[in-house]
Amino acid sequence: MKSRAGRLGRVASALVLAALVGALAPAAHSQTVPQTGTQTGTQSVEGQPMVLAQAGTEQRGAVTNLPLPRYVSLKGTEGNARRGPSLSHRIDWVFRHAGMPLRVVAEFGHWRRVEDRDGAGGWIHYALLSGVRTVLVTQDMLELHSRPNPDSDVVARAEAGAILRLNECEPSWCRVSGGGQRGWVPKTTIWGVDADEVRD
């Protein structure tokens, strides 16, 4: 099975967060079909309606009544993303790291259609997902600050690809944690949180 590039971030000093970069690998003997962004409108699966997230509008999942799209994380160390919402559909992608942030864009029964930062993904069983919020660091050697201010003290640094726990968020900054460290980072340097999202 061929994997996307990934690496293990090692602690170089007390200020560097160690994190395993989640790899997304195509399933063996299957054609990879990356998803290219959030779709819109209403479709049906096996004769039942399925609402897909629409850009710029507030949608609710037909199963959970939770907002679409929304962010979740991978619960275990592996999750199969399938072509459709059942075990009979072929596996297109295999997510390989616990805590990887994913965006839910559709629901059908016990299945959630998810995508990663690049828009790749598929249908995954809800039992493999967690409501624990995480984010993916998109800037190398990202500085974690003691306060939501670029002039505040730097308490840690995280490598690009590190997966961190998401805590509270202000309009432009979020507090994250990982590797025993915690600090504030600009929203523009992480993936897994909406630009206008505020969390207490």
Q: Is it the case that residue 187 has pLDDT exceeding 90?
A: yes
The encoded tokens of residue 40 equal 């819109």
Q: What is the pLDDT of residue 89?
A: 97
Q: What pTM, to 2 d.p., does this model score?
A: 0.75
- Is the domain spanning 135-191 CATH 2.30.30.40? The answer is yes
CATH of 22-132, one of 2.40.30.10, 3.30.429.10, 2.30.30.40, 1.10.3720.10: 2.30.30.40
More confident residue, 80 or 38: 80
Q: What is the pLDDT of residue 186?
A: 98
Mean pLDDT in the chain? Answer: 80
Q: What is the pLDDT of residue 52?
A: 53
Instruction: Give yes or no for a contact between 128 and 94, defined as CB atoms under 8 angstroms apart.
Output: no
DSSP string, the chain: -------EE--SSTTEE-EEPPEEEEPTTS------S---EEEEETTEEEEEP-TTS-EE-TTT--EESEEEEE-SS-EEEESSSSTTSPEEEEEESTT-EEEEEEEETTEEEEE-TTS-EEEEEGGGEES--EEEE-STTEEEESSSSTTSPEEEEE-TT-EEEEEEE-SSEEEEEETTEEEEEEGGGEESS-TT--B-
Q: Is it the case that residue 165 has pLDDT exceeding 50?
A: yes
Q: What is the pLDDT of residue 27?
A: 36
Q: Is it the case that residue 16 has pLDDT exceeding 80?
A: no
The strand pairing partners of 154, in sequence order, are: 145
Start and end residues for every CATH 2.30.30.40 domain found in the chain: 22-132, 135-191
Chain centroid offset of residue 20 CA? 14
Any residues with CB less than 8 A from the CB of 14 and at least 6 apart, and which? none
Q: What is the pLDDT of residue 9?
A: 31
More confident residue, 196 or 36: 196
More confident residue, 6 or 144: 144
Q: What is the pLDDT of residue 20?
A: 30
Average pLDDT score over residue span 100-109: 97
Report the C-alpha gap between 34 and 119 in whole angstroms. Answer: 7
Q: Is it the case that residue 3 has pLDDT exceeding 70?
A: no
For residue 168, give the amino acid letter: E
Q: Which residue, 77, 79, 76, is CA-closest to 94?
A: 79
Q: What is the pLDDT of residue 58?
A: 76
